[in-house]
């Protein structure tokens, strides 16, 4: 008797629900490498070659919608999503696993890692390794006392500059104007970044995807909310 193969389907978000926000300053339990050379990227990318390395990082990737889009847009480059929440990162990992099974030979260039990007980024990426970093709809931390928790601040911008190559890009998108102004203010103040012109933003092929590829972006579009975009170049 021939046994029927098990059907594979994408995971359902209702089984992975978690609070929308997490305290990035708290001492979460993370295993992290002492040095980027200690990372076994083969565990994340089954077809990685010795001359390949991660070039795109989606910081706070949420449920992975934009990460999947990156994998489709750039099939020959490696992208990783970093997510601090346990169940959400589990969902993205299961989603990628299902996509790889459903579409043989595809989506081997994306992966998800549960970690705290505000603390451990240099433990995973070498100097000038990344070409693009994405901060899409980050937690606004509205209360003034919690502004220190915001993912964009002067100290962290120096770390981001360390792992970004010269000419690398930082993409930011939010639906909160106050947070957008905060991001622009801090990044324009930092000596290692310059903002792209409106024309450069419009001609970037990634820009249209920023509005609706992520789950948060789709929700903003559905609710007819505002989008505030700013892209910066590492100089």
Q: Binding residue per annotation — 183?
A: no
DSSP structural state of residue 15: G
- Length of the chain measured in residues: 235
> What does R_g of the chain's alpha carbons equal in angstroms?
18
Bridge partners, 130 (sequence order): 164
Q: Binding residue per annotation — 83?
A: yes
CA distance 78 to 185: 31
Given 58, 139, 204, 226, the catalytic residue: 139
Q: Binding residue per annotation — 188?
A: no
Q: Binding residue per annotation — 216?
A: yes
Q: Binding residue per annotation — 72?
A: no
Q: Binding residue per annotation — 214?
A: yes
Known catalytic membership, residue 139: yes
Cβ atoms of 230 and 184 within 8 Å: the answer is: yes
CA distance 79 to 56: 4
Q: Binding residue per annotation — 60?
A: yes
Q: Binding residue per annotation — 117?
A: yes
Q: Which of 153, 182, 170 is nearest to 233 (CA)?
A: 170
Sequence ranges of the binding site = 60, 83-84, 116-117, 136, 214-216
Sequence ranges of the binding site for S-adenosyl-L-methionine = 60, 83-84, 116-117, 136, 214-216
- Which residues participate in catalysis according to the annotation? 139
């Amino acid at each position: 008797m021939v046994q029927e193969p098990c059907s594979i389907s994408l995971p359902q978000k209702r089984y992975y629900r978690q609070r929308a926000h997490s305290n990035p300053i708290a001492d979460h339990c993370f295993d992290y490498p002492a040095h980027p050379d200690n990372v076994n990227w083969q565990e994340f990318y089954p077809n990685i070659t010795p001359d390949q390395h991660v070039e795109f990082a989606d910081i706070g990737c949420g449920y992975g919608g934009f990460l999947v889009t990156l994998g489709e847009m750039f099939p020959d480059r490696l992208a990783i999503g970093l997510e601090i929440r346990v169940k959400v990162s589990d969902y993205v990992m299961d989603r990628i696993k299902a996509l790889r099974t459903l579409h043989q030979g595809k989506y081997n260039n994306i992966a998800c890692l549960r970690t705290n990007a505000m603390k451990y980024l240099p433990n995973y990426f070498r100097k000038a390794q990344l070409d693009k970093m994405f901060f899409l709809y980050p937690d606004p931390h509205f209360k003034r006392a919690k502004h220190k928790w915001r993912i964009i601040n002067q100290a962290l911008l120096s770390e981001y500059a360390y792992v970004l190559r010269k000419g690398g890009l930082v993409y930011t998108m939010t639906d909160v104007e106050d947070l957008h102004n905060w991001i622009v203010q801090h990044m324009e103040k930092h000596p290692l970044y310059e903002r792209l012109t409106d024309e450069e933003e419009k001609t970037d092929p990634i820009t249209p995807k920023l509005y609706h590829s992520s789950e948060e972006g789709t929700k903003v579009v559905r609710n007819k909310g505002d989008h505030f975009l700013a892209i910066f170049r590492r100089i």
